[in-house]
Amino acid sequence: MTTENLLPPTGRPITLIDADGHAADSDQLKLPDEQVLVGLFEAMVIGRRFDQQATALTKQGRLAVYPSSRGQEACQVAAARVLRAEDWLFPTYRDSVALVSRGLPPLEVLTLLAGDWHCGYDPIERRTAPQCTPLATNGLHAVGVGHAARLRGEDSVCLVLTGDGATSEGDAHEALNFAGVWKAPVVFLIQNNGYAISVPLAKQTAAASLAYKGIGCGVPSMIVDGNDAAAVYAALELARDRAAAGEGPTLVEAITYRMEAHTNADDASRYREQSEVDAWRRRDPIDRLRIYLSDRGLLDDTAERELAEAAEQLAAQTRSALNADRPIDPAAMFDHVYGTPRAALRAQRAMVLEESKQS
């Protein structure tokens, strides 16, 4: 596929495996091989079980908040698995399943959402930036890291995850423009789930698609079926290879849907109809790939049972890690504010420690 084929993007999302589990013809993307597809299916099943467990922990008070990505597993898993060890991932607060799919331990992934620390893992060691809560700022981080890597002569690639709401932020345009001008090795994956919390896409943009925002910055762009793990993976693989080869950034808009509310603090029934949710439920990313693999003898009852057991083991590890009372150090909130703490900060720290002794 040439860059010219991505300008402008096709109006119809590219699909390789349709909602009924049948192969779909495409002259733009190549279907990933069987082993990749099996791996994507396994990661989606495990990721969904993790997502369910994290949601339950929130209701039990073990997490302060948890933004579920149920329904978006194809994007989450494809983004994590397409990256090489030397590449970087720039996730948002909704992308916990992507982090688990990248191999990060559940406790490290959920530390932020438990309210313990801003980040539970070493970003440099994991080649994974902290989960970003402010919308679109991670796009700027990604182009900065990617551009720096290119200046150092490295071929590492940065993949940044955003939602459709983030594309309404100025930071998103600045990141795309910088990436286009400097050919930064960045892959922008927009998970377009149709809502910025409660604001529908039609009230966010009048553009034909979000992919055109990339076109306006000279960034080759494409639109894929975001519930088709095969199509998302193939698109991201193409984009990753372009970036690694020095051909610059690519934007991939994945049309998907958030099956659950925005977070546990949201009531989705106030802004969308159940019939809409039911229609998307019939396009479930796991169901369609299960049918495709089963029809070709790549998945059977034994494999599914073993996979379910593996998913339960991860859920049990997650419960055990989050239910354990972790040590609390009140002084830690003052660490890392300044290289050399100022007098006022030292005084505040001393006051907190003194009051802690009395409580």
Helices 106-114 and 34-59, interaxial angle, to 10°? 40
3-class secondary structure, 295: helix
How far apart are alpha carbons 227 and 229 in whole angstroms? Answer: 6
Would residue 262 show up in a list of annotated catalytic residues for this protein? yes
Would residue 258 show up in a list of annotated catalytic residues for this protein? yes
Q: Parallel, antiparallel, or unpaired for β 221-225 and 199-200?
A: unpaired
What residues contact residue 64 under an 8 Å CB cut-off, 6+ apart? 58, 113, 114, 115
What residues contact residue 206 under an 8 Å CB cut-off, 6+ apart? none
Catalytic residue among 262, 283, 288, 349: 262
Q: Look at the block and give the residue holding tokens 């919308």.
A: 135
Catalytic residue among 94, 258, 288, 349: 258
Long-range pairs, 166-171, Cβ under 8 A, ≥24:
166/92, 166/135, 166/136, 166/139, 166/190, 167/136, 167/204, 167/205, 167/210, 167/213, 168/196, 168/204, 168/205, 169/135, 169/136, 170/136, 171/135, 171/136, 171/137, 171/139, 171/140
Q: Parallel, antiparallel, or unpaired for β 195-196 and 199-200?
A: antiparallel
Catalytic residue among 70, 212, 271, 290: 271
Would residue 271 show up in a list of annotated catalytic residues for this protein? yes
Q: Look at the block and give the residue holding tokens 């055990």.
A: 320
Which residue numbers are catalytic?
258, 262, 271
